Structure 1
Amino acid sequence: MDNRTQRERDRSSGSYPPRAALADAWDEHSRYVGFAAGLFAVGIVAGVALMVAGYNLLEIIQEVVGEPLFPDISDRSRLELAQFLLVNNSRAYLLSILGILTLGLLTAWAMVFNGIIVGNVGAFIAGSVGVGYILVGLLPHGIFELPALFIAAGVGFRLLYRVGQRLRGTRDAIVTKRYLYRTGLLVLAGWLLLVVAAVVEAFVTPALLEALFADRLESMGSST
């Protein structure tokens, strides 16, 4: 008996184990999560293109708003840094879901804008200190953080689609108890990925950079 058949039997019997509910939630949202990842990829391409054209977005944004896009966190302890990252990423996570209140425009813009920033800043850093440095600096926590944000956006897009179905009369209710249950589990799983990402970015990434690029970090520090 495959997993899908077992889940169908669980639903028909009135039981809905968390594992089956989470699998159903992923089946329901995976297409929308993929759409969010596609928007992010488009943003990355745009960000790299802006770099090639000579536009450094961090400098431009700093000149416009009068302060850096990313605050100085060098004086924080590792634990404080992890807490800071988790709080900020949790806000972005929640906003991606609540983007339904803007008909998904805020969520879509967040995916594209974050992609543009990552593509642009990553390309500039890679050009100055090397691709290896940027990969080590981004990948360890990015493999957890980005899927989490895509999940949040996917939940927002899927909820918006369910609203559209209800308005067209093809769905009886926008949300049901089972929908809230399984989607809540998916949202929780995504947020736990953010917890892992914050810990990795605060504790693992700096250690890897120091171990692999100690000379480069020393030269960068002496030049500032």
Structure 2
Amino acid sequence: MSLKKLMALMIFLFLIGGILGYLIVLSGQSDLISQLIGGVGEKAKTINFKPFSPSSVLAIFVNNLTVSLISILSGLTAVIPSFIVLANGIITGLVVGLLTQEGLSVFSGILSLMPHGIFELTAIFLSAAYGTSLGVNFWKFMFRRENNFFDVLKKMPKYVLNIVILLIIAAVIEVFISPLVLQFLLNSKTPVPI
């Protein structure tokens, strides 16, 4: 399967996860929401996010790079990267759902995540797609069906460099721009009919 098709698959899984996360909020299952958000909250405590703080940029970058590298390396299983993307989608859907409970529309909730999300999610999708490709080609190599594994492996530095660049941009935007966008949207509560 080509990297483009795997990227499309990862985007699809993320969207499914996002819808599931949003539906969990709509269902009002507060125990499940607390469990899911609690896990994210514990991770957020280790990041110690502070808007407009360079240390937050570094912490977010390191966290997202860790997730991306886990996606690449766990690609040898050929399925774990898909679960990582699905879980990211669920968490994003939960966040959007919770923002709608604060008075934002779904559109505004998504908009609040877009400035950094465009770069961060591209990196997450790329790392998951590349990791899956690496895994699929590894297993094909192991069973002597195909010998593309080393060609795919040689591309790792290029993909990791692209992922690092995307995650640096995402972390800077998440710390310095996204809080302003969210604050603006919460203050204006722009009515968008979605």
The answer for the alignment partner of 2:101 in structure 1 is 127
Indicate which of 109, 112, 115 corresponds to 2:86.
112
What is the aligned length? 185
Are residues 1:99 and 2:74 paired?
yes
- What TM-score, normalized by structure 2, do the two folds share? 0.81
Are residues 1:154 and 2:146 paired?
no
User: Equivalences for 1:43-82 in 2 at 5 Å?
Assistant: 43-56=17-30, 57-61=32-36, 68-71=42-45, 73=48, 75=50, 78-82=53-57
In structure 1, the gaps of 5 or more residues are 1-26, 217-224
The answer for the alignment partner of 1:187 in structure 2 is 160
Query: What letter matches 1:30 in structure 2?
Result: K
**Equivalent residues of 2:51, 2:176 under 8 A apart:** no
The 1-side partners of 2:145 and 2:131 are apart by 19
The 1-side partners of 2:181 and 2:15 are apart by 26
How far residue 188 of structure 1 moved from its aligned partner, in angstroms, is 1.1
**Equivalent residues of 2:18, 2:90 under 8 A apart:** yes
CA distance 1:40–1:209, shift in 2 (3 Å): closer
In structure 2, the gaps of 5 or more residues are 190-194
CA distance 1:115–1:130, shift in 2 (3 Å): same
CA distance 1:169–1:59, shift in 2 (3 Å): same
Flag the structure with larger Rg: 1
The 2-side partners of 1:45 and 1:211 are apart by 25
- What TM-score, normalized by structure 1, do the two folds share? 0.71
Q: Could you give the per-residue CA deviations for residues 130-149 of structure 1, whole angstroms, max 9, x where no partner exists?
A: 03652342000001000100
How far residue 122 of structure 1 moved from its aligned partner, in angstroms, is 1.1
**Equivalent residues of 2:51, 2:175 under 8 A apart:** no
**Equivalent residues of 2:81, 2:131 under 8 A apart:** yes
- Aligned residues: percent identity? 25
Q: Could you give the per-residue CA deviations for residues 76-104 of structure 1, whole angstroms, max 9, x where no partner exists?
A: 75211111110100100101101124x13
How far residue 163 of structure 1 moved from its aligned partner, in angstroms, is 1.7
Query: What letter matches 1:48 in structure 2?
Result: Y
RMSD (Å) for aligned C-alpha atoms:
2.7
**Equivalent residues of 2:17, 2:86 under 8 A apart:** yes
